[in-house]
Amino acid sequence: MTQRSTAADFVQGFATGWPENQPEVMILSLTTQKGVQDFALTKEQALLVAKTIKRTATQLAAPKQRA
């Protein structure tokens, strides 16, 4: 568990389309070298994920400037 990849190849989030008859569910789809994994989130879970991402992003170091 401690030797996980630190990045996903592609991240996509969408609120409709799958499952089409449950618009209250957000699907977060992650594509990595091991394949696609979908996660169903409630509104509260989606807001918590967004809040955590925003908080973490503000703590990131500035990108290194290329010479």
Over residues 10-47, the pLDDT tens digits come to 676 666 555 677 778 888 877 777 778 888 888 899 88
- The per-residue pLDDT for 42 is 87
Q: In the structure, what pLDDT confidence band is assigned to residue 58 with cuts at 50, 70 and 90?
A: very high
Does the pLDDT value for residue 5 go beyond 70?
Answer: no
Query: Residue 18 in 3-state DSSP?
Result: coil
- Token pair, residue 13, equals 């989030």
> In which residue are the tokens 């290194």 written?
64
Q: What's the rounded Cα separation, in Å, for the pair 46 and 48? A: 5
Q: Are 41 and 25 in contact (CB under 8 A)?
A: yes
Count of residues for the chain?
Answer: 67
Q: pTM higher than 0.85, yes or no?
A: no
- What integer pLDDT is reported at residue 63 of this predicted model? 82
